Amino acid sequence: MKYHDHLSIQELWALILLGLDVLHDAVQSSGQILSATDHTTLSGSLAALREEGPIGPGASNHIGQAANILEAAVCRETLGHQNVFDGTHDPELGAVGQVKSAPILSSSGAELESLLRHFRQLLAMRELLTARVDSELQLARLKAF
């Protein structure tokens, strides 16, 4: 996220729109990993986010729909779970970290997980954009006094 901190509002906005285009294209070329209804709804939500803008009036609704579809699809493609160690080995203390449960995904699930990761990255960028736009508006109001 450090990279995005140095972008202007216009550059960040353009990067989000480009990311939405890339994600939309990936969904279109993903084949049969989603049901026809989910595919149509997800494509429509991504297209609407692109058209109306990432902080437009209907953005929250479209984001919710897209997230629900992708998360549910990944859950359906989860074959099980396995424990994995998340940490490091310290020469003095030994293993430092924790064991986490990680999903075992089908090949379609891995593709869906990639789409979901990309979508979440766009959401993080959107949050940064929203904060910047809000700060600009608040500063403008302060200057008006």
CA dist 19 → 39, 41, 124 (Å): 18, 18, 12
Phi, then psi, of 77 in degrees rounded to 5: -100, 10
Q: What is the pTM of this model?
A: 0.85
**Can you give the pLDDT at residue 1?**
54
At 133, is the pLDDT very low, low, confident or very high (cuts 50, 70, 90)?
A: very high
